[in-house]
Structure 1
Amino acid sequence: MTSPVSAAAGASRDGVVAARRLARWLGLAATPTFAIMAVLTAALGGGPADMLCAAGHASLLGGMVPMYLLMSAFHASAWLKLISERRGGR
């Protein structure tokens, strides 16, 4: 018979495992999502949001498309980790 304490600990452990899996999938989803947003913004135009972001910047990093590309690059670590795990035979 399983005690209520050990059952709760098992459920808690399952919750932690599920949260880690969800966080990993969200990390993997971020890079292509931001890349798609950059392509769509470049193709369809940024509209008023692009003007707001570019208004205070005179650099090449102003606007929504560069912002989405940078966000995509910053979130690529989840993909790099997955690739390195696969190549390591893990």
Structure 2
Amino acid sequence: MTGSITRLTSASRPRYDGECQMINPQAQRIKDLTFNGKAIDPAATFLVATNNYRAYGGKFAGTGDSHIAFASPDENRSVLAGVD
């Protein structure tokens, strides 16, 4: 599935620290999250493109070897340019 994802954020207060430990449960940087102009279904599944640091680091939710759908030595923009 391809489409556009839109989000509005405010970086005023972090929810997690540098080790991905929650430090402020009330902080919410994502104010509105849509896909093709519609609110995201919390049960929906998405394929997210990210860099190797985030994907393999294991510190971020949904990361680590077991969550990798496609790996490439190419830059993200080069891989995504080939997606229809």
Give the structure-1-normalised TM-score: 0.21
Bigger share in strand: 2
Bigger share in helix: 1
Instruction: Name the structure, 1 or 2, with higher relative contact order (CA <8 Å, separation 6+).
Output: 1
